[in-house]
């Protein structure tokens, strides 16, 4: 069944709504609702369906007990015998009181069966929710970095959350409301044909068709109005928050009246849309009531005629009324059920869209694990672009022989970090090959490739958990002693021991409770713990002050010893000992050699070296001056590397102390 949101008049200003195909969504959802590998859940589904049928049979029997009681009351002269005879019961069971007790009992049984069914079904619904949410989560991790960079994480988690809630809603509303109502309707039709005649059935069918068509159309129209109401509500809220955040600015410009007007405009839109929501609801309810009551009155009139003609009893009159009124209750929810199913289908579709995206980088069929023998890394004529219009790497070739250290330096934006992303295979090169011990990284499994690589990234983001958890992330099965050893090597142990809670101290969301330098040392510790044969250090010490950097450099040198290491650095002093230094500029290697060779060449590297040397000298002078003043001034080093590229040391000196921030780093470091 395909439906479009469409309703004339006030919904016309709405954007055309997305097409919904319930059939397609159901087909995609089916494996989750009917899990092939869970026979126990299938049994539960059967049980729920049986309970559903039993509850509905009891439900339609209730008006019968009512009828029998009324007939027993209406025909006292036969002492209940007429009813007893018609029911083939002993007269004592056909008395009005017993029949009323039966009525009560049936209602209790109906309620119990319905509740048990809901409980039994909860398992099935929640299992489907969990499986689908897990599949989407796993899939999100398999998608490319490009996908994640293009989407806001908040947006993705919202899709996941909405999708998760929607499956529950859809399963619950379908199985617990829509299907039972349909079953009840079919049973009622059977009763009408059996107990009454085809005219009754025809009236009820016509009524139901008119009722559902009206409900569907009206609900589609209301969806647009509700959306506009929610949007205007969000808009009013945003305006209020923005205005209050700008409290001072409002005062500076005497803009209270302007702000009031702006806010009032916004809430007046909300007011109009809310009124429309209520009036449209009134239209929905009134229309439903009119259609239903017409049907009800017609069948009751027919029944009265039947009583006059002697084909019906007063009990039949009560029966048909009770049965119809009973049906009205679930029917009155149909608008809500339809709206929820519709919205949930849209949300689930959005989730399936993500599930349908294929990962940009995938293991090739039959990909074998990487076998690391010595750990030699090689790039052969590698070119790469994120966007075809702008090449980032152009024909880059170099080799990091097993156990050696190669450094890459170059201006910001030259493509250094991109190189490390290619080595980790977050992207595929546009041309050329990257090999490890002669094996093309594109041909091996991603898991084995990333297992052989370790990185200390430029920006370290930590999990919102403990320090221990974050360090152990490098190797979850590491012993406590190994974790402590790694922390010691990364020079973070002193800080951890002084932190309240020690290794169990929480680092806050994205590690915000730690300074840049502390986060970086946690990253170093976890890479030490992972102990990969090939290391990428992407500005690994950029967030550290020069004192800690020197200390940590020793640790990194130790970690790098015997390992193939690619160092991406701005701070040239950290890589003077590298076996080879490559200067990358605008995606091309423009110089290569050892530190001494490059300085002798008097090219880009040599000028970068002399500039940095001057900057370091200037910093040293500042530090000494500050120390003499008795101030513990720490110079912010996070951005410094980049500044060094641009600023002459003399400029830095001219800017003076004001240009340098005092960092939190200091507090953490003095504890070391
Ligand atoms: N996901 C991306 N999509 C499009 N362009 C990108 C993306 N990531 C990086 N770039 C661009 O690619 C170029 C190289 O970026 P890269 O991060 O490799 O530079 P870098 O040499 O490491 O710079 P820095 O030293 O400042 O970190 C930059 O101009 C950057 O804007």
Domain chopping of the chain, boundaries: 20-196+341-360, 197-311, 377-461+533-608
Cα of 413 vs centre of ligand 1, distance in Å, is: 5
Q: What secondary structure letter does DSSP report for 369?
A: P
Q: Which CATH architecture does the domain made up of 20-196+341-360 adopt?
A: Up-down Bundle (1.20)
Residue 582 pLDDT:
94
Q: What is the pLDDT of residue 17?
A: 53
SS3 436: strand
Q: What three-state secondary structure class fits 131?
A: helix
* Residue tagged 């398999």 (tokens): 142
Q: Is 221 in contact with 228 (CB distance < 8 Å)? A: no
Provide mean pLDDT across the span 137-150. Answer: 84
Task: Please report which confidence band the pLDDT of residue 552 belongs to, taking 50, 70 and 90 as the band edges.
Answer: low
Position 431 scores a pLDDT of: 94
Pocket test for ligand 1, best of 389, 396, 417, 641 (most atoms within 8 A of CB): 417
Instruction: Decide which of 550 and 288 is more confident.
Output: 288
- For position 94, what pLDDT does the model report? 59
State mean pLDDT over 521-526: 88
- pLDDT of res. 189: 87
Q: Is 392 close to ligand 1, i.e. is its CB under 6 Å away?
A: yes
Average pLDDT score over residue span 157-161: 81
The fraction of the chain above a pLDDT of 70, given in percent, is: 82
User: What does the mean pLDDT of the chain come to?
Assistant: 81
Q: Which residue has the higher pLDDT, 221 or 516?
A: 221
DSSP H/E element including 229: helix 198-245
391 lines ligand 1 (CB under 6 A): no
Beta bridge partners of 582: 408, 592
Element (H, E) at 535: strand 534-538
Binding site membership of 414 for ligand 1 (Cβ less than 6 Å): yes
Q: 589 pairs with which residues across the strands?
A: 584
Nearest atom, ligand 1, residue 419 CA: 18
**Cα 146 to averaged position of ligand 1 atoms, centre (Å):** 12
pLDDT tens-digit profile of 491-507?
Answer: 888 888 888 888 998 88
The answer to whether the Cα torsion of 431, 434, 435, 441 is positive or negative is negative
- The closest residue, in CA terms, to atom 25 on ligand 1 is 412
Q: What letters, b where the CB count within 10 A reaches 16 and e where it falls short, cover 367-403?
A: beebebeebbbbbbebebbeeeeebbbeebebebebb
For residues 517 and 123, give the distance between their C-alpha atoms in angstroms, rounded to a whole number: 48
Cβ contacts of 520 within 8 Å, gap of 6 or more: 456, 460, 540, 541, 542, 543, 544
Which helix (H) or strand (E) is 564 found in, with range?
strand 564-568
Q: Which two tokens stand for residue 404?
A: 């050696």
Protein residue whose Cα sits closest to atom 16 of ligand 1: 415
Q: Considering only residues 626 and 274, tell me which one the structure prediction assigns the higher pLDDT.
A: 274
Distance of CA 582 from the midpoint of ligand 1 (Å): 17
Quote the CA–CA distance of 216 and 509 in Å, as a whole number: 45
The band of 513, judged by pLDDT with boundaries at 50, 70 and 90, is: confident
Q: Report the residue count for the chain.
A: 672
pLDDT digit string, tens, across residues 350-408:
888 888 888 888 888 889 999 999 899 999 999 999 988 899 999 999 999 999 999 99
Residues 6+ apart with CB under 8 A from 347: 159, 162, 163, 165, 166
Q: What is the DSSP string of 372-424?
A: -SS--EEEEEEEEEEETTEEEEEEEEEEE-TT-EEEEE-STTSSHHHHHHHHT
d(CA 312, CA 318): 11
| Segment among 11-15, 450-454, 600-604 with least mean pLDDT | 11-15
Q: Is the CB of 572 under 6 A from ligand 1?
A: no
- Asked if 237 and 269 count as a contact pair (C-beta separation under 8 A), the reply is no
User: Would you give the DSSP letter of residue 178?
Assistant: I
pLDDT band at 577 (very low <50, low <70, confident <90, very high): confident
DSSP line for 647-667:
--HHHHHHH-GGGSPP-THHH
Residue with tokens 């499956």: 167
CB 527, CB 491: distance < 8 Å: no
Sign of CA dihedral 213, 214, 217, 223: negative
In this structure, what token pair is assigned to residue 579?
Answer: 């076996």
- Residue 387 CA to residue 629 CA, distance in Å, equals 52
Look at residues 439, 406, 410, 435 and name the one whose alpha carbon lies nearest to residue 422: 435
Q: Tokens 């974790």 correspond to what residue? A: 483
**Phi (first) and psi of residue 523, to 5 degrees:** -65, -40
**How does pLDDT run across 256-268, given as a tens digit for each residue?**
999 999 999 989 9
pTM, rounded to two decimals: 0.69
| Closest-CA residue to 586 (of 392, 385, 386, 388) | 392
Pocket of ligand 1, candidates 386, 411, 413: which has the most ligand atoms within 8 Å of its Cβ, to mutate? 413
Q: How far is the CA of 239 from the centre of ligand 1 (A)?
A: 36
Question: 378, 434 in Cβ contact below 8 A?
Answer: yes
Tokens standing for residue 457: 């990234």
Percent of the chain scored above 90 by pLDDT? 28
Average confidence (pLDDT) over 115-121? 86
Token pair listed for 380: 């052969």
CATH number, domain 377-461+533-608: 3.40.50.300
Nearest-5° angle of CA 166, CA 171, CA 173?
Answer: 90
Q: Is the CB of 82 under 6 A from ligand 1?
A: no
Residue of the nearest CA to atom 4 in ligand 1? 386
- Return the sign of the alpha-carbon dihedral for residues 263, 264, 265, 267: positive
In this prediction, residue 361 carries a pLDDT of 86
- Which of these, 607, 603, 657, lies nearest to 635 by C-alpha position? 657
Answer yes or no: are the C-beta atoms of 163 and 132 closer than 8 Å.
Answer: yes
Q: Which of 386, 409, 582, 586 to mutate to test the pocket of ligand 1 (most atoms within 8 A of CB)?
A: 386
The CB of 416 under 6 Å from ligand 1? The reply is yes
Distance CA 234, CA 36 (A): 43
Q: Cβ(190)–Cβ(160) under 8 Å? A: no
Q: What is the pLDDT of residue 584?
A: 93
Q: How far apart are CA 379 and CA 114, in angstroms?
A: 67
Residue 412 Cβ inside 6 Å of ligand 1? The answer reads: yes
Confidence of residue 152 (pLDDT cuts 50, 70, 90): low
Backbone angles phi, psi at 397, to 5 degrees: -130, 130
292-348: per-residue pLDDT in tens?
A: 999 999 999 999 898 898 888 888 898 889 888 888 888 888 878 888 888 888 888
* Band of pLDDT at residue 652, cut at 50, 70 and 90: very low
Ligand 1 within 6 A of CB of 418: yes
- The reported pLDDT for the residue numbered 629 is 60
Spatial separation of the C-alpha atoms in residues 612 and 184, rounded to whole Å: 83
- Residue carrying structure tokens 């299992």: 127
Strand 534-538 and strand 453-456: the pairing is parallel
Which ipTM was obtained for this model? Answer: 0.96
What are the φ and ψ backbone dihedral angles of 134, each rounded to 5 degrees?
A: -65, -45
Mean pLDDT of 83-101: 63
**Which two structure tokens, joined as six digits, stand for 577?**
């000992």
N-terminal to C-terminal alpha carbon distance within the chain: 68
Instruction: Give CA–CA dist 658/493, Å, rounded.
Output: 32
């Amino acid at each position: 069944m395909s439906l479009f949101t469409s309703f004339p008049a006030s919904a016309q200003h709405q954007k055309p709504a997305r097409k919904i195909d319930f059939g397609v969504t159901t087909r995609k959802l089916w494996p989750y609702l009917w899990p092939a590998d869970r026979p126990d859940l299938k049994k539960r589904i059967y049980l729920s369906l049986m309970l559903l049928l039993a509850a509905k049979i009891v439900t339609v029997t209730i008006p019968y007990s009512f009828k029998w009681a009324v007939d027993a009351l209406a025909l006292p002269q036969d002492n209940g015998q007429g009813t007893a005879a018609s029911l083939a019961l002993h007269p004592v069971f056909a008395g009005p009181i017993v029949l009323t007790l039966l009525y009560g009992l049936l209602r209790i049984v109906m309620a119990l069966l319905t509740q048990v069914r809901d409980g039994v079904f909860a398992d099935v619904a929640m299992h489907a929710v969990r499986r689908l949410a897990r599949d989407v989560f796993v899939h999100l991790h398999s998608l490319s970095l490009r996908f994640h960079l293009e989407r806001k994480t908040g947006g993705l988690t919202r899709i996941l959350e909405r999708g998760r809630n929607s499956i529950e809603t859809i399963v619950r509303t379908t199985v617990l409301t829509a299907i039972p109502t349909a079953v009840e309707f079919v049973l009622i039709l059977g009763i009408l044909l059996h107990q009454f005649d085809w005219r009754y059935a025809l009236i009820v069918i016509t009524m139901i068709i008119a009722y559902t068509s009206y409900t569907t159309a009206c609900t589609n129209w209301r969806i647009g109005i509700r959306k506009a109401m929610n949007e205007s509500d969000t808009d009013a809220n945003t305006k209020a928050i923005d205005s209050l955040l700008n409290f001072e600015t409002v005062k500076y410009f005497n803009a209270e009246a302007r702000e009031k007007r702006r806010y009032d405009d916004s809430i007046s839109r909300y007011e109009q849309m809310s009124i429309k929501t209520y009036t449209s609801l009134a239209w929905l309810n009134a229309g439903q009531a009119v259609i239903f009551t017409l049907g009800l009155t017609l069948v009751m009139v027919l029944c009265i005629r039947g009583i006059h003609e002697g084909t019906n009893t007063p009990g039949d009159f009560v029966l048909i009324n009770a049965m119809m009124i009973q049906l009205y209750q679930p029917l009155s929810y149909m608008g809500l059920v339809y709206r929820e199913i519709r919205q949930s289908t849209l949300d689930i579709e959005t989730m399936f869209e993500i599930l349908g995206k294929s990962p940009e980088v995938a293991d090739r069929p039959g990909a074998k694990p990487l076998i690391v023998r010595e750990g030699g890394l090689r790039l052969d004529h590698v070119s790469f672009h994120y966007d075809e219009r702008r090449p980032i790497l152009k024909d880059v070739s170099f080799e990091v022989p097993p156990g050696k250290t190669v450094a890459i330096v170059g201006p910001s934006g030259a493509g250094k970090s991109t190189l490390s992303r290619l080595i980790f295979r977050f992207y595929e090169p546009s041309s050329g090959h990257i090999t490890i011990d002669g094996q093309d990284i594109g041909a091996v499994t991603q898991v084995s490739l990333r297992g052989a690589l370790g990185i200390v990234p430029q920006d370290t983001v930590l999990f919102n958990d403990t320090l221990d958890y974050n360090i152990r992330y490098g190797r979850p099965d590491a012993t406590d002693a190994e974790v402590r050893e790694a922390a010691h090597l990364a020079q973070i142990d002193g800080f951890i021991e002084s932190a309240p809670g020690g290794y169990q101290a929480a680092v806050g969301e994205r590690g915000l409770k730690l300074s840049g330098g502390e986060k970086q040392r946690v990253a170093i510790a976890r890479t030490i713990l992972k102990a990969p044969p090939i290391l990428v250090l992407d500005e690994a010490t950029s967030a550290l002050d020069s004192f800690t950097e020197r200390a940590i450099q020793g640790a990194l040198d130790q970690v790098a010893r015997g390992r193939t290491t690619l160092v991406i650095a701005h701070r040239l002093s950290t890589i003077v000992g590298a076996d080879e230094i490559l200067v990358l500029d605008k995606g091309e290697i423009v110089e290569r050699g050892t530190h001494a060779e490059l300085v002798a060449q008097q090219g880009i590297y040599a000028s970068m070296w002399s500039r940095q040397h001057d900057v370091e000298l200037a910093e040293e002078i500042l530090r000494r001056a500050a120390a003499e003043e008795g101030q513990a001034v720490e110079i912010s080093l996070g951005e410094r590397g980049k500044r060094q590229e641009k600023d002459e040391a003399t400029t830095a000196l001219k800017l003076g102390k004001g240009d340098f921030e005092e960092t939190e780093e200091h507090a953490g470091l003095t504890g070391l």
